[in-house]
Amino acid sequence: MKKITVLGGGIAGVEAAIYLRKEKFDVTLISNREYVYIYPISIWIPTGEKTLEDVSLSLIKLGDRHGFQVIFDEVVNIQAKENKVLLKNKGEYTNYDYLVLALGASKLKPSGGENTLTVCGDPEQAVMLKNRLEALVQRGQGKIAIGFGGNPKDPSAVRGGPAFEVLFNIHHFLHKKQLTNNFQLTFFAPMENPGARMGDSVVDEMNKMFKTLGVETRFGKKITQFVPDGVVFEDGSKLDSDLTMYISAGTGHNALKDSDLPLSNAGFVKIDDYCQVEGMDNVYAIGDTAALSGPEWKAKQGHVAEVMARNTAHNISTREAGGHDFIGYEKHLSILCVMDTGNGAVYIQRDDVHAKMTLMPLYGHWLKKSWGIYYKLSKMGKIPRLPGM
């Protein structure tokens, strides 16, 4: 039985390990976290609707359920041509026939970034956001700034959706406490039209929502640095803030920098449509780690990561059986997003044909919450999986 090692235990890595086991491979997953962190539902940690535990699923339990081994360690380098992975604690690791890279992405580091918190990095930061928000509520008033930044080298690595979601959820949270008049909420981004990738109608709708809710905006100004009490822009102006959440754009994973893997300008792993790494016979890359090809509006998303993972399991299995019926991911590239607003949601669909959004009142909020429950139960095999999910 061929040995396949998956690096990374996030949304892509877990799906790959499960589907590689379905193809009867001997699978080992290496992760620096003991759990898969379900980022899409972590947006509710700052407002206390979800805990870290709610948003996590044990990799050991997943491994037991599906029959893959799990090693907890940190990947620090990869020399793929020599079939070698360097682990922080266990040293050199060579025990595989195929390698699947699913390490996610690193983040660009803005000047003064230590003065901000994010829901898109270490899970602990989401909890720190909750604590800081609670402290402001105790104080009874404050200024909160929420924003995201770009990566000119790879726009697909920009993560704006959760910034909108956290902002709307914080507004709803303050509204329930009848505190909106005591707080100033500001949304900021260096681009003129944040969210434009999702379509013009989305940008218009978001701007309308900001106006209705009394959220101020600062768009189209580059950020010079973050300071303890705010954000400084290129024209010298400053946005005062007691609490700043900033989602830095993604960049290639740090552990890949000194590897022998082919990397894009932004540091993501170059792959073909079948997720095979360019010029590497036995290495595949999936999810946020990979450089996506396709339309300019493409985005690194969880559902794309899962398609890439399932395709990779199929493609390796087909190859081992001597077949050529490989499946590509590019035709599955679309932005599908249920953007939560705390008391409802906005469904966004962007593909070659559509750039549309649909308002979903309260049921949209519960739909997204239900997806989180579905994710956990279906991955643990407690309920059947829906087609394509």
Task: Tell which residue, 123, 63, 101, has the closest CA to residue 284.
Answer: 101
Give the C-alpha separation, 359 to 37, whole Å: 28
* Residue nearer to ligand FAD on the CB measure, 180 or 355: 355
Supply the minimum distance, in Å, between the C-beta of residue 377 and ligand FAD: 18
N-terminal to C-terminal alpha carbon distance within the chain? 27
Binding mask 107-136 for ligand FAD (x = CB under 6 A): ------------xx----------------
A 10 A CB-CB count for 52 gives 15
Cα 127–Cα 7–Cα 288 angle in degrees, nearest 5: 65
Q: With CB under 6 A as the contact rule, which of the stretches 138-146, 237-245, 286-294, 314-322 interacts with ligand FAD?
A: 286-294
Q: Does 160 bind ligand FAD (CB under 6 A)?
A: no
Binding mask 59-98 for ligand FAD (x = CB under 6 A): ---------------xx-----------------------
Supply the minimum distance, in Å, between the C-beta of residue 268 and ligand FAD: 11
- E strand residue ranges, 264-344: 269-270, 283-285, 290-291, 335-340
Cα 182–Cα 239–Cα 170 angle in degrees, nearest 5: 45
Supply the minimum distance, in Å, between the C-beta of residue 221 and ligand FAD: 24
Q: Which residue is nearest to ligand FAD (CB)?
A: 10
Phi and psi, residue 29, nearest 5°: -115, 130
DSSP state of 254: G
Using CB under 6 A, which of 5, 17, 20, 40 touches ligand FAD?
Answer: 40
Give the C-alpha separation, 183 to 187, whole Å: 13
Q: Does 288 bind ligand FAD (CB under 6 A)?
A: yes
Using CB under 6 A, which of 63, 147, 194, 287 touches ligand FAD?
Answer: 287
Decide if 232 contacts 223 (C-beta within 8 A).
yes
Using CB under 6 A, which of 84, 153, 175, 303 touches ligand FAD?
Answer: 303
- Name the site residues for ligand FAD (rule: CB under 6 A): 8-13, 30-33, 39-40, 42-43, 74-75, 102-104, 119-120, 159, 161-162, 255, 287-289, 300-303, 305, 337
